[in-house]
């Protein structure tokens, strides 16, 4: 296997950058620059907490590797042109990149997406999988084009578990070895311009950001749907949950059970869930 590509990495946390970096190095390549997407959309204010994450990434950047904090796709492209890159690898990047940026590296841009594409194209595949009660998740490495998650597939694996109590940390433990394996395969194929299986429209779906209505419990939904709604928020972070009014009290629901348990019974369309952990919700929640 030929090596020695100069690679730029775009991701969202120290552990993720480290996994990409180590995989590229093990495959014989040279990561030379990182870019952290500090906002979910280009030309918007820095996301809350992103400065703290950027500091953690900066503290972990290997010697000799630069860290970019672009505010726009154009700015990212201008910076990347100076690195004489063969390839860019993205994992967890929500911006749509124009062709002018995609064509900067000699072999284009690879994107790592947490689903079995074409299922769950879009910025939130894991959240939608949990919301829908999926028992497992896939991972795809594909060539990035100007649309979201539609480019040819270079490597793909299914079967990453999504247990009932999945957290970001537990998912990363199961997902990261798959990411390393599939990225290694994709790196071996990427320089062949004919490599990659085109995606079909069959089974395609979109995984967008959570809509405002999802932040409130709808008891017209099934018990399973409400339970998965709460699981989705719990995956996003400690202390997060949808809001429901029970007995005149507004509660943020942190954990539920589908079987009888100590807590508050909440009747849904087809049965009940039991709210086993909650906290008062402010009126503006």
Q: Do 40 and 174 belong to one domain?
A: yes
Is residue 282 pLDDT above 90, yes or no?
A: no
Over the stretch 97-137, which tens digit does the pLDDT of each residue have?
999 999 999 999 999 999 999 999 999 999 999 999 999 99
Banded pLDDT at 225 (limits 50, 70, 90): very high
Nearest to 230 by CA among 219, 245, 241: 241
Q: Do 174 and 35 belong to one domain?
A: yes
Q: Across 25-108, where does the E strand assignment appear?
A: 30-36, 66-68, 87-91
Q: Do 223 and 125 belong to one domain?
A: no
Mean pLDDT in residue range 268-272: 97
Mean pLDDT in residue range 248-254: 96
Q: Do 251 and 122 belong to one domain?
A: no
Q: How many domains does the chain have?
A: 2
Q: Do 86 and 219 belong to one domain?
A: no
Q: Do 133 and 174 belong to one domain?
A: yes
Nearest to 232 by CA among 165, 285, 135: 165
pLDDT given for residue 238 in this prediction: 86
Beta carbons within 8 Å of 105's beta carbon, 6+ residues apart: 8, 80, 85, 86, 87, 88
Q: What is the CATH number of the domain that holds 253?
A: 3.10.25.10
Question: Which of 134, 154, 189 lies at the terminal end of a domain, its last residue?
Answer: 189
Banded pLDDT at 210 (limits 50, 70, 90): very high
pLDDT given for residue 56 in this prediction: 97
Mean pLDDT in residue range 61-76: 96
118 preceded by a cis bond (ω within 30 of 0): yes
Q: What is the CATH number of the domain that holds 182?
A: 3.40.50.170
pLDDT given for residue 33 in this prediction: 98
Is residue 284 pLDDT above 80, yes or no?
A: no
Q: Do 181 and 242 belong to one domain?
A: no
Which residue segment(s) compose the domain that 222 sits in? 212-280
Indicate whether 197 belongs to any domain. Answer: no
Over the stretch 3-40, which tens digit does the pLDDT of each residue have?
699 999 999 999 999 999 999 999 999 999 999 988 98
Is residue 2 pLDDT above 60, yes or no?
A: no
Q: Do 31 and 164 belong to one domain?
A: yes
d(CA 85, CA 88): 7
Nearest to 253 by CA among 267, 239, 235, 265: 239
Q: Do 158 and 225 belong to one domain?
A: no
Answer for the pair 143, 196: CB distance below 8 angstroms, yes or no: yes
Q: Do 178 and 238 belong to one domain?
A: no
Indicate whether 268 belongs to any domain. Answer: yes
Calculate the average pLDDT of the chain: 96
What three-state secondary structure class fits 139?
A: strand
Indicate whether 205 belongs to any domain. Answer: no
pLDDT given for residue 1 in this prediction: 42
Question: Which of 174, 189, 204 lies at the terminal end of a domain, its last residue?
Answer: 189
Q: Do 90 and 157 belong to one domain?
A: yes
pLDDT given for residue 281 in this prediction: 93
Question: Which of 156, 189, 222 lies at the terminal end of a domain, its last residue?
Answer: 189
Q: Do 115 and 178 belong to one domain?
A: yes
């Amino acid at each position: 296997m030929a090596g020695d590509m100069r690679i730029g990495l775009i991701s969202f946390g120290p552990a993720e950058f480290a996994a990409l970096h180590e995989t590229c190095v093990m495959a014989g390549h040279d990561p030379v620059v990182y870019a952290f997407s500090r906002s979910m959309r280009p030309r918007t204010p820095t996301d809350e907490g992103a400065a703290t994450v950027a500091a953690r990434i900066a503290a972990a950047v290997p010697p000799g590797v630069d860290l970019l904090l672009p505010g726009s796709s154009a700015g990212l492209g201008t910076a990347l042109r100076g690195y004489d890159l063969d390839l860019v690898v993205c994992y967890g990047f929500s911006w749509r990149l124009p062709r002018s940026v995609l064509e900067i590296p000699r072999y284009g841009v690879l994107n790592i997406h947490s689903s079995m594409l074409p299922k769950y194209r879009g910025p939130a595949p894991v959240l939608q999988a949990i919301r829908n009660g999926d028992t497992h998740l896939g991972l795809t490495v594909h060539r990035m084009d100007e649309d979201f998650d539609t480019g040819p597939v270079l490597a793909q694996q299914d079967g990453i578990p999504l247990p009932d109590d999945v957290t970001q940390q537990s998912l990363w433990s199961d997902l990261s070895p798959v990411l390393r394996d599939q990225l290694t395969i994709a790196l071996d194929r990427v320089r062949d311009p004919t490599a990659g299986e085109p995606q079909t429209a069959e089974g395609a779906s979109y995984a967008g950001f959570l809509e405002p209505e999802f932040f409130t419990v709808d008891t017209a939904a099934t018990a399973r749907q409400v339970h998965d709604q709460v699981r989705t928020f719990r995956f996003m972070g400690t202390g997060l949950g949808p809001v429901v009014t029970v007995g005149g009290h507004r509660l943020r629901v942190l954990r539920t059970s589908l079987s009888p348990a100590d807590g508050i019974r909440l009747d849904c369309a087809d049965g009940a869930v039991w709210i086993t952990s909650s906290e008062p919700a402010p009126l503006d929640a």
